[in-house]
Amino acid sequence: MRWVAGASGVALAIGIASIGFELGAVNAAAATAVGGEHQQSSATTATAKPADFQDISLAAQQAAPGLVDINADLGLQGAGSAGTGIVLTSDGKVLTNNHVVEGATDLSVTDIGTGQTYRATVLGYDRSEDVALLQLSGASDLPTAKIGNSGSVAVGDRVAGIGNAGGVGGAPSVSPGRVTALNQDITASDDAAGSAEQLHGLVQVAANIRPGDSGGALIDTAGEVIGMDTAASTGYRFQGLGSGGGVGFAIPIQQALSIAHDIETGQASGTVHIGPTALLGAAVSDGQGAGAVVRQVVAGTPAEQLGLAPGDVITTVNGRGIDSPTALTAAMDTSHPGDPVTVQWTDAYGQTRQGRASLIAGPVG
């Protein structure tokens, strides 16, 4: 879960792509986020009484079989992550957040409806929209989520976020609340990697969405999925637990499904990546506009083959200018394992160098 917006509208956020607080990950991503022009102050958020949400809790029980728990091994980081997914098809196509599976070298997915655990592959992802589509290996006859209409959602609607809160697995947690705003824009930055992303058009809710709920369902009183939980507030993470306290954000389900359709049908674009991720093998940080500064080179990767070393500054990839880690990530998202790559960089002595290598398969995203 990406943590966003506290009482002032600005807060420190922690990307649960590595759930450091739960699973001992050493690379949990720190992020800040700011609400968009439609942002409502948390002071206007009403605290709902538990009795108001008996029906939404029953709806959550009906919706639970259409979810999965996701556990990812972040092999190169020596860490683990956990999150939630929404089952779209009986043969195991699962919708989740990109940040749930980003960096994964192995994925284990447990279906709530059947209790069965499957290995999973990532069919594709859209980093800019924080959406990924998974395929469970050997899955069949899975209960699927009941999809609602996010276009009919209105401020004041009763909703609940359900998912794998805390990454503990088992019966999904239920966080009831109300819709407090629509069309929200947030910006989340990963201070560890020096990258940032903007998410648009989100549904804001007064509900205690928690780490591990990422990729889970935001449901209405009919138990229909109207959004995919993706971010929440640090300022309210422990207020009104289970009774609507907190500020959460969800991607409208039709918005997420449109991206999933592009992935399923192989429609790659400037933001949609189809298939395995290509790996260069250089961990980088922000060069303050000068490029992406190499912090570490992974042994046996194209980066090592090229001769990149810590302190070098990557400036172009295949002729495309690189002025930040985000730009490098965007360039890599257009590539696939086996593709040739030409990299230009400035070494520690200020000399411009260039090399060519073939990319290899790497962790997701």
Q: Give the span between the Cα atoms of 199 and 185, in whole angstroms.
A: 6
A 10 A CB-CB count for 131 gives 29
Boundary-marking domain end, from 274, 302, 333 = 274
Task: Give the pLDDT confidence score for residue 231 in this predicted structure.
Answer: 85
Boundary-marking domain end, from 274, 296, 318 = 274
Whether residues 266 and 282 share a domain: the answer is no
Whether residues 338 and 231 share a domain: the answer is no
Identify the DSSP state of 244: T
Please state the domain count of the chain.
2
Whether residues 300 and 347 share a domain: the answer is yes
Whether residues 265 and 285 share a domain: the answer is no
What single letter denotes the amino acid at residue 269? S
Task: Give the pLDDT confidence score for residue 1 in this predicted structure.
Answer: 54
Task: Give the pLDDT confidence score for residue 129 in this predicted structure.
Answer: 93
Whether residues 157 and 291 share a domain: the answer is no
Which structure tokens are listed for 86? Answer: 């929404």
- Among 310, 301, 318, 311, smallest CA distance to 354 is for 318
Whether residues 244 and 351 share a domain: the answer is no
Q: Give the CATH number for residue 313.
A: 2.30.42.10
Q: Specify burial of residue 321 (Cβ count, 10 A radius: 0-12, 13-18, 19+).
A: exposed
Q: Give the span between the Cα atoms of 33 and 167, in whole angstroms.
A: 23
Whether residues 121 and 198 share a domain: the answer is yes
HSE-CB at 88 with a 13 A cutoff on CA atoms is 20
Give the position of tokens 């800019």: 128
Whether residues 215 and 295 share a domain: the answer is no
Who contacts 342 (Cβ-Cβ below 8 Å, separation ≥6)? 316, 317, 318, 319, 354, 355, 356
Give the position of tokens 């093998």: 281
Q: Give the span between the Cα atoms of 132 and 327, in whole angstroms.
A: 20
Counted residue by residue, the chain has a size of: 365
Q: Which domain, by its residues, includes 322?
A: 276-362
- Among 278, 293, 302, 300, smallest CA distance to 365 is for 278
Whether residues 25 and 102 share a domain: the answer is yes
Instruction: Please say whether the beta carbons of 88 and 327 come within 8 A.
Output: no
Instruction: Please say whether the beta carbons of 194 and 188 come within 8 A.
Output: no
Task: Give the pLDDT confidence score for residue 47 in this predicted structure.
Answer: 44
What single letter denotes the amino acid at residue 309? A
- For the whole prediction, is pTM greater than 0.85? no
Catalytically active residues are: 99, 130, 214
Q: Give the span between the Cα atoms of 197 and 99, in whole angstroms.
A: 11
Residues forming a β-bridge with 251: 228
Whether residues 193 and 312 share a domain: the answer is no
Whether residues 266 and 298 share a domain: the answer is no
CA 316 to chain centre: 27
Q: Where are the alpha helices (DSSP H) in the chain?
A: 20-23, 54-63, 98-101, 253-264, 302-306, 325-333
3 state DSSP class of 177 = strand
Q: Give the CATH number for residue 127.
A: 2.40.10.120
Give the position of tokens 């700011």: 34
Task: Give the pLDDT confidence score for residue 78 in this predicted structure.
Answer: 78
Whether residues 254 and 301 share a domain: the answer is no
Q: Specify burial of residue 75 (Cβ count, 10 A radius: 0-12, 13-18, 19+).
A: middle
Average pLDDT, consecutive stretches of 10 residues, N- to C-terminus, the chain (365 residues): 36 28 24 28 39 76 97 84 96 96 94 97 95 98 98 96 92 94 77 61 93 95 96 50 65 98 96 94 90 94 96 96 91 92 95 96 86
Boundary-marking domain end, from 249, 274, 299 = 274
